[in-house]
Structure 1
Amino acid sequence: MARPSGLFAAAIAAQRGHLFPWVPVCLACGIGLYFALVIEPGQAMLWMMLGLGLCALIFGALARSPTPDGVRAPVIAAGLVALGFGLAGARSHNVAGPLVDFRYYGPVEGRVVDIDRSASDAVRLTLDRVVLAPMAPDETPTRVRVSLHGDQGFAAAAPGATVILTGHLGPPGGAVEPGGFDFRRHGWFLQLGAVGYTRTPVLLLAPPAEGQRIFKARMWLSERMRAVLPGETGAFAAAVTTGDRSAMGQATLQDLRDTNLAHLLAISGLHMGLLAGFVFGVLRLGLVALPWTRHRAPIKRIAALGALAAATGYLALSGGNVATERAYVMAAVALLAVVCDRRALSLRSVALAALIVLILRPEALTGPGFQMSFAATTALVATFEQVSRFNTRRERPLPRWMAPVLSLLVSSAVAGLATAPIGMAHFNTIAQFGLIANLVSVPVMGLVVVPAAVASALLMPLGLDWMALYVMGMGLDWILWVARSIASWDAAVRPVVTPGFWVLPLIALGGLMLCLLRGTARLSGALPLMLAAGLWSSADRPHVLIADDGGLVGILGPNGRALSRGSGGGFVADVWLENDGDLAGQEASALRWSGPIEGRIARQALGSVEFVHLQGKRAVEAFGRCAPGQIVVQSDGDPVPGDCQLFHPETLKQTGSVAVWLAEDGIRVVTDRQRTGLRLWHGARPDDATGLVAWLSTSESSPPADPER
C-alpha cells in the first residue's frame, strides 16, 4: 500500500508543467489570511513573514534532484503564502494616513483629484492637499471625499482646481451589519481619512495648476463626448472611454446591472481586448497593403507593438482601476508574446497578470472587480483550451462561419457562469435574462462602439470626431434600449440571500481545481462547489439587526424583515434587505412592524424578548425606565436607566453594527468589532497592545458593557 507522502508526490508529478498558475493562488491565500485576522500583526511579524517567504522561494529555485517534488512544491507554496501575508501588511502600512475620529463641521480646503457620483446620485469630489481649520497638518487626512448636495456651481469643481467649502465630515463608516462590506478598510487603501457632504456651494480658491495632466485629459475628453452626444448616451460614451461615470443616472446604472450589462461600463478585458485587437488588425492590414513593408518589415511584431501603445494610452485615460489594470496586463502579456513568437493566450498569462496585480495592490483580492474579472478570464481561457483540443482531434473541424457564432455563445455562457456566484454573493441579485442581453449587446460593442471610439480619437485633431461619435452613439443607444427593455420584463431580477464567510472561498477553490488541474483530478473540484452550495442554501440570517448609529432596527419575521422606521437610514435599510434576498423597499418593510409604535417609540416582541427602538431625545424622555427582558436601542440622548440590555450611540460607536440571534438557550449577540477586530483601518496602532485585552475579553455570547452605565 502506497504511503500518503508517496501519493502526494505522485499527484504533484502528474501536474508537472502546469503548476505556475497556482503561484498567484498561493499568494492570494496569504493575502486573504492577513485580511481575515482580527488583530493587527506587528511589523516584526510582517518582516518575518517576508523573510520566510523569500527564503522558501530561494530554496525552491535552487533545490534540485534528489529533492522530491513532494517536498519542493509544498515549500514553495508555503513561501508564497507567507510572502502574500507580508506584502498585504506592507501595503497596509504604506498607505497609512490620519483618520478623523469625530464629527467635523467647518471649512474644508483641498485640490480636486477625482469626480464621481454617489449611490444617492450626488456628485462627489475627492480632495487631496486637505486643510481643515482646527487640525494640525500631521493630523489632517491625506484625502477626503465630499458629496455635493443643494444648488452647486460645478464650474469650481474642475480637475486640479483648489476649492473650499463648508462641509460635514466624519470617519468612513463600518459594515452596516457584522461581517458585511467594511468601507473603513476600502477607504483606508484609497487613503480616505474622512467622508461627508456639503449643502453650500463649492467655491473656487485657485484655478488648476500644473500637474494631473492625465486626469485633466480624461475629464476634457469626457466633456467633449457629452457635448457631442447629449443625455445618457454621452454619459455612457464617457464611461466606456474614460471611466468617468459622474454623469450617468442611477436609473440607467440599475438597468445595466439588472441585465448583467454593467460590465460594459467597467473598462476591463472586453474593452481592452477589443481595442487592442482592432488596432492590431488595422495596423497589420495597413502594413500588408504597403508593398515595401509587406516583404521587408516584421509586420506582425510592429502591429503588436502599436496595439500595446494604444492599450497603454487607454489605461492612462481610463483612470487605472483594478479591472483595467488586469486587462492591460493580460493584453500586454499577449502582445509581447506575439512580439517574441510565443503563445499569446494561456493560463500562464492569466496567472502572470494576477501575480502582478496582487503584488502591486494586494487589497484588490477582496473586491468584486478582481474576483469577477479573473474568474471570467480563467474560465474562458481554460474552456477555449479544451475546445481547441477537441476541434484539433476532429477529422473534420467545424466550419469557419460557425467559429464566431460559437465563440460568442460559449464565451457569454462561460463568463456568465463563472461570474454569477461572485456577483450574487456581492450584490445579492441574479439577472435571469443576462445571457440574452449580452448576446445582442456585446457584438455591437465590438463591431460598432469600439471601432468608432478609435476612429473618433484619430479624427479629433482634425475636428471631425463628431462623425465617429455619431456612429458610436447609435451603438450605445442600442445597448441602452436593450437594457431598459429587458430590465422591464417580469422576473428580470431574482434576489439572493447573502452567503456565509466560507462560501466564496469554497467556490473559488472548486473553480480553480476545475480550471487548473490536469486529468481526472480536476473533477475533484466538484466537491468544494457542492459544499459551498449546501452552505449557501442553509445561510442563517440574524433575527435582529441594529445600525451602528442606533438609527434603525430590523427584526426578521415570517414575512421578511420588519424595519422600525419607514424613512431615514435608507442605505442601511437597502443593504439589510438585499442581504436577506428581499426586494421590498424600506417603506414596505416598515409596514411589517407588528408591534405598537407610539410617536417615535417602536416596540416589537420576539420570543421572550421585547425590542424597543427610541428615536431621538424626546422618545428617551417619554420612555422612562427600561425593564429586564427588554433590549433597548436609542439613537440619541442620555442612556435610559433600568436593568435592560441597552445599545446607546456611545456603545455603538465602539461596537459598530450589531446582529442578534435568538435560541432556546438565550440570545447570541455579535458586533461588527468582534468580527473585524482591531486593524489599522479601525485606528489600531501597530505593535501597540492598547485595547487588545479589551477586545479579547469580549464574547459573542454577550454584548460589551455600556461605558456610561
Structure 2
Amino acid sequence: MHRARMAISEQIRQRIGGQEGAVAAALMTGDRSGIFEATNKIMRASNLYHIISISGLHMGMLAGFVYAAMRYVVIGVQATGHGLGLPAHKIAALLAMLAAAIYLWLSGGGVATERAFVMVAVMLGAILADRRAISLRTVALAATIILVYSPEALTSPGFQMSFAATIALILVHNPWSRVSPRLPIWLRPAVMLLTTSLVAGLATSPIAAAHFNQMAHYGLLANLLVVPVMGMLVMPAGVTAALLAPFGLAGPALWVMGQGTAWMLHVAGFIAGLGGAVTPIILPPGPVVPLMGFGAVLAVLCWRPGGGLRRSPLLLAGFSAGAAMLAIAATLWLNTGRPLLLIAPQGEAAGLMTPQGRAMSKPAGGSFTVRTWLREDGDPATQQLSAERPGWSGDKGQRHADLPGGWQVWHFTGKGAGAKAAMACQPGRIVIATERTGLTKSAQNCLLFDLYTLRYSGAVAIDFDESGPRIRTVAEAHRSPG
C-alpha cells in the first residue's frame, strides 16, 4: 500500500512538475517530501499551510463533490423513468463515504486525515439515518469517536482548530440560511465564501497563534483567493484524475489540478511578500488555551439565538462564566513573561532577555533550540542578529553577562571549556560549560551547569526574585504532575 501511494505521488509530481506538482501530490497522497522549505515558509506566512495538510477542508470538498455529482447522476437516471424509488441522497451519501474512505487510504491515514474522515463519515451517516447532518450533535459525536480512539488528539492544534472552525461554521449556518434568500442569487456564493472564511479564521486564529507563535494578517484575503479554486478546480480535478488514471486518461485532469496549485503558490508568494504579513506572537502560559476552549464552549452552549440570554438565569450565569474565562485567558496572554536566562540542553547556547530582545551568547550552535526560544519569545530575529544585541561580553569561547542582584553568568564553549568553567566557579555566578568540569558537589561555589549536570537536568530556565535565582529544568517539568 505504501509503495502504491509513493508511486502515485511520484507520477503526479512528474506529470505536473515543479512545486505545483509537489503540492498536488501532497494534496492527493499526503506525501510532502517534494515540497521545498521555502514553499512551506510562504504558505505559513500567508495562512495557507492548512491546505497542504490533508484535513477537513480536503475531505469535505472531496466528499461534497462526490455527493453532489452522484446525486445528480441518480436524478438523471430517474429522469429517464428508471429507479424512481431509489433515495438519491442516500445513495450519494454512501458513495461519498466510500470515496472518503479511499481518500483516507490514499493519503496515508495521518491523524488529521483520520479525524477529517470521522467527521465526514458521521455527517454522511446522519444523512443515511435521516438525521440532520449539520448540527452540534454531529460534531459532538465525531469528537467523541476521535477522543475514544485517540485521547491525546485533544491537545493537538489540528484537533482544536478543525473543531473550532466546524463549530463556528455550524453556528452561522442558521443565520446564513435566513439571510441568504434576501441576497441576489449571483451574490450569494461570494458572500458565503467571505462569511465562512471570516468566521473560520476568527475561530482558529487564537489557537494557531498560541501553537505556532505567529499571526498571519492577510490570511483572510489569501483564503478568499485560494479556497474557491481548491473547491472548484483542484479537488474535482483530483477526483477525475483518479477515476481516469486506470485508462491512461488522467493527463488533462492533472493539468487542471496543476493550474490550481500554481495559482495557490502564486497567491501565497504575493501575500507573504506584503509588508507586515506576519506578526510574531509570544508563547502563552499553559492555562490560556484550556481557558479559551472551555470559555468558548460555555458561551456557545449558553447562548440561544433569537432568545438571547433572557430565558434563564442559569444560561446567563454560564455565558458570564465563559466570557470571564475568555477575559482571563486574554489577560494572562497579554501579561505573560519569558524567562530571563535560557540554557540549551547540552550547554551549547545561552540566551539572556534584554530590553532589545533575547541576546544569544554566540551567533551559532544549538540552532534548533535557539530558533524555538526566539519563536516562543515572539521574536523574528535570527540567532546571528540576536547575538549582536548588547548584553554579552568576552571572547568567543568565554562569554559573560551581568544579571540582577549582582549575579553574573559565564558561558564557556570549545576545547578546554570544562577547565575554564571550574576556575570561574565562584559565588554569585551561574557557570555554563559544554564539557565536564570534574567538580564535585561540595566543591561547587557557583550555580554550575556543565555537560554532566545538563545531561540529568535537560534545558534550564532561570528567573530572579528577591531571594535570588529561581531555576526550572526540563527534568523537573516532566516529573511534575502538572
Q: Give the equivalent residue in structure 1 for 2:384.
A: 587
Where does 1:668-707 land on structure 2 (aligned, <5 Å)? Answer: 668-677=470-479
Distance 2:81 2:476 in 1: 71
TM superposition outliers: structure 1 runs of 4+ over 6 Å: none
Q: Give the equivalent residue in structure 2 for 1:405.
A: 190
Q: Give the equivalent residue in structure 2 for 1:15.
A: none
The partner residue of 1:324 within 113, 130, 134 is 113
The partner residue of 1:613 within 387, 392, 411 is 411
Deviation at 1:294, TM superposition (A): 5.2
Where does 1:90-169 land on structure 2 (aligned, <5 Å)? Answer: none
Q: Give the equivalent residue in structure 2 for 1:353.
A: 142
Give the AA of the match of 2:15: V
Deviation at 1:537, TM superposition (A): 0.5
Give the AA of the match of 1:632: V
Q: Give the equivalent residue in structure 2 for 1:380.
A: 169
Q: Give the equivalent residue in structure 1 for 2:213.
A: 428
Give the AA of the match of 2:116: A
**Structure 1 residues 295 and 364, CA gap change in structure 2 (3 angstroms):** same
Does 496-505 or 519-528 show the bigger shift? 519-528
Cα deviation digits, residues 666-689 of structure 1 (max 9, x gap): 12111112222179xxxxxxxxxx
Where does 1:37-52 land on structure 2 (aligned, <5 Å)? Answer: none
Q: Give the equivalent residue in structure 1 for 2:223.
A: 438
Question: Are positions 1:221 and 2:13 aligned together?
Answer: no
Distance 1:571 1:622 in 2: 26
SS at match of 1:234: helix
**Structure 1 residues 424 and 489, CA gap change in structure 2 (3 angstroms):** same
Paired residues of 1:563 and 1:593 also in contact (CA < 8 A): no
The partner residue of 1:306 within 89, 95, 107 is 95
Higher helix share: 2
Distance 1:639 1:424 in 2: 44
Q: Give the equivalent residue in structure 2 for 1:512.
A: 297
Cα deviation digits, residues 261-315 of structure 1 (max 9, x gap): 0110111111111101111111111122222445232222111111110000001
Q: How many percent of aligned residue pairs carry the same amino acid?
A: 45
Q: Give the equivalent residue in structure 2 for 1:369.
A: 158
Distance 1:238 1:665 in 2: 58
Cα deviation digits, residues 509-539 of structure 1 (max 9, x gap): 1211232334323642222111111110100
The partner residue of 2:47 within 260, 266, 286 is 260
Give the AA of the match of 1:560: G
Does 661-670 or 602-611 show the bigger shift? 661-670
Deviation at 1:638, TM superposition (A): 2.9
Give the AA of the match of 1:473: G
Cα deviation digits, residues 339-377 of structure 1 (max 9, x gap): 222211111111111111111111111211111111111
SS at match of 1:295: coil
Distance 2:298 2:425 in 1: 56
Q: Give the equivalent residue in structure 2 for 1:13.
A: none
TM-score (ref. length: structure 1): 0.63
The partner residue of 1:551 within 303, 327, 348 is 348
* Structure 2 segments unaligned to the other structure (5+ residues): 310-314
Paired residues of 1:616 and 1:637 also in contact (CA < 8 A): no
Distance 2:368 2:218 in 1: 27
Give the AA of the match of 2:382: G
Distance 2:373 2:174 in 1: 42
Deviation at 1:410, TM superposition (A): 1.3
Distance 1:576 1:654 in 2: 21
**Structure 1 residues 639 and 413, CA gap change in structure 2 (3 angstroms):** farther
Distance 1:599 1:513 in 2: 55
* Structure 1 segments unaligned to the other structure (5+ residues): 1-212, 680-695, 697-709
Q: Give the equivalent residue in structure 2 for 1:648.
A: 450
Paired residues of 1:639 and 1:648 also in contact (CA < 8 A): no
Paired residues of 1:596 and 1:603 also in contact (CA < 8 A): yes
Q: Give the equivalent residue in structure 1 for 2:23.
A: 236
Q: Give the equivalent residue in structure 1 for 2:312.
A: none
Cα deviation digits, residues 598-623 of structure 1 (max 9, x gap): 24111111121110111134233345
Paired residues of 1:661 and 1:668 also in contact (CA < 8 A): yes
Cα deviation digits, residues 364-419 of structure 1 (max 9, x gap): 1121111111111111112223433x449xxx744433332222111111111111
Give the AA of the match of 1:342: R
Distance 2:232 2:353 in 1: 49
Q: CA RMSD in A?
A: 1.8
Cα deviation digits, residues 644-666 of structure 1 (max 9, x gap): 11012222222221111112331
Distance 1:613 1:622 in 2: 10
Q: Give the equivalent residue in structure 2 for 1:570.
A: 367
Where does 1:130-209 land on structure 2 (aligned, <5 Å)? Answer: none
Q: Give the equivalent residue in structure 2 for 1:489.
A: 274
Q: Give the equivalent residue in structure 1 for 2:429.
A: 630
Question: Are positions 1:601 and 2:398 aligned together?
Answer: yes
Q: Kindly tell me the number of residue pairs found equivalent between the two proteins.
A: 463
Answer 1 or 2: higher relative contact order, Cα 8 Å, separation at least 6. Answer: 1
Distance 2:460 2:57 in 1: 41
TM-score (ref. length: structure 2): 0.92
Q: Give the equivalent residue in structure 2 for 1:246.
A: 33
Deviation at 1:254, TM superposition (A): 0.8
Give the AA of the match of 2:411: H
Distance 1:372 1:312 in 2: 22
Does 320-329 or 495-504 show the bigger shift? 320-329
SS at match of 2:345: coil
Q: Give the equivalent residue in structure 1 for 2:251.
A: 466
Cα deviation digits, residues 221-270 of structure 1 (max 9, x gap): 11110110111111100111111111110010010111110110111111
Distance 1:635 1:220 in 2: 46
Distance 1:500 1:639 in 2: 37
**Structure 1 residues 497 and 512, CA gap change in structure 2 (3 angstroms):** same
Does 396-405 or 367-376 show the bigger shift? 396-405
SS at match of 2:445: coil
SS at match of 2:369: helix
Q: Give the equivalent residue in structure 2 for 1:341.
A: 130
Q: Give the equivalent residue in structure 2 for 1:539.
A: 336
Give the AA of the match of 2:409: F
Q: Give the equivalent residue in structure 2 for 1:31.
A: none
